[in-house]
Amino acid sequence: MMSQTLAEIGEFGLIRLIRDLIDMEGVNEPRLMMGIGDDSASFLPREGYEILITCDCMVEGRHYLRGHINPLDLGSRAMVMNISDIGAMGGIPVFATVSLGVKKDTPVHYILEMYRGFIRELNPLGAAVIGGNITGSDHSDFMDITLIGEVERGKIIRRSTARPDDIVMVTGFPGQAAAGLSILLNNEDTGELQSNPLVRAYNKPVHRAREGRAAALSGYATSMIDISDGLLGDLGHICEESGVGAEIIREALPVSAYMRAFSGSNGRDHYKWILGESDDYELIITCAPNNTDKVRSAIAEISDVPVTEIGRITSKTNGIEIVFPDGSKHEEVHIGWDHFKK
């Protein structure tokens, strides 16, 4: 049955298999009133919480190439993108709907593996897929996930509330995913590439939802965003929405050993990777200068991920400056941000 294609099994046959998979391998959320199998799913909201909603879409050939990522990791990656958006508000994911467009010759096994990828990310958070739909697609597959989350009233952290003099912190090692993508695109994949840590950073990124939630619940984070347009791009979103600027100390940027080795062999300045477009889903968090330790220790209680201070928010509204070791400053053009300028 697993080697059948979507064309052979049909939409409803596939939905039944997906429903069985979710029943068997997904978590059972007691507040779910109705899951897959009616016109709508339904759940009971939690008292004292706001509902969060985010959606993100991946298109084959544009956001991924089938040959470069297995369906389990592809499902994971698509779900991580969305979990990251809920985490960047301080929330917890609870329910997901998945809308798939797949070519008729897609093996059923491939689709079920994608669902296993969704479940792999949702289960540890107690969240579940509760609905969706499947349609044929003639040229490229696509998957659009809507993720519902919850956050205690008043605990939400926005991107629009950074203040001058706030410290800018970042989790993990941004830029590794972009370096990994470059490795995938510039090398023949003999299978070995998949275990390269930078390729793993691209194909199997890790969300920081727990870290984001810890920062939010600490009460000290002033703004937060996840990095999906690159460190500069997303810091740019914070600046734009908060009406502030920022100063980044170049030497303070976190460089992993993998990145150092890669950029050494590759001749490209690793700061370009770290600052530029990259799908890492790390978090940028700002807070008042005397609260950095509180935010960092709130995160350290639940996670080993490094949190690095990389600069500060300024009252300038004209952009982000990079401060070099000699004290000189360079104003950056903000990828994914300049279209927003007035």
d(CA 201, CA 214): 23
Determine, following the binding rule CB under 8 A, whether residue 220 of this chain makes contact with a copy of itself.
no
d(CA 110, CA 95): 22
Amino acid at 322: I
Whose CA is closest to 88, among 208, 232, 171, 246?
Answer: 208
Q: Which of 124, 126, 136, 264 binds a copy of itself (CB under 8 A)?
A: 136
Determine, following the binding rule CB under 8 A, whether residue 1 of this chain makes contact with a copy of itself.
no
Determine, following the binding rule CB under 8 A, whether residue 339 of this chain makes contact with a copy of itself.
yes
Q: Which of 24, 28, 30, 40 binds a copy of itself (CB under 8 A)?
A: 40
Shortest CB 182 distance to a copy of itself, Å: 20
Q: Which of 133, 297, 317, 318 binds a copy of itself (CB under 8 A)?
A: 133
Chain centroid, CA 249 distance in Å? 24
Placement of tokens 């597959």 in the chain: 141
Shortest CB 263 distance to a copy of itself, Å: 28
What are the backbone dihedrals phi and psi of residue 79, each rounded to the nearest 5 degrees, phi first?
-75, -40
Which of 22-30, 126-134, 171-179, 185-193 is the region at the interface with a copy of itself (rule: CB under 8 A)?
126-134
d(CA 126, CA 200): 25
Structure tokens at 228: 């999906």
Q: Which of 7, 10, 165, 318 binds a copy of itself (CB under 8 A)?
A: 10
Q: 210: exposed, middle or buried (C-beta count within 10 Å: 0-12, 13-18, 19+)? A: middle
Q: What residue ranges bind a copy of itself (CB under 8 A)?
A: 9-13, 16, 33-34, 37-45, 47, 49-57, 59, 61-63, 84-86, 88-89, 91, 95, 97, 99, 101, 130-133, 135-140, 142, 144, 146, 148-149, 151, 153, 156, 158-160, 225-226, 241, 336-337, 339-340
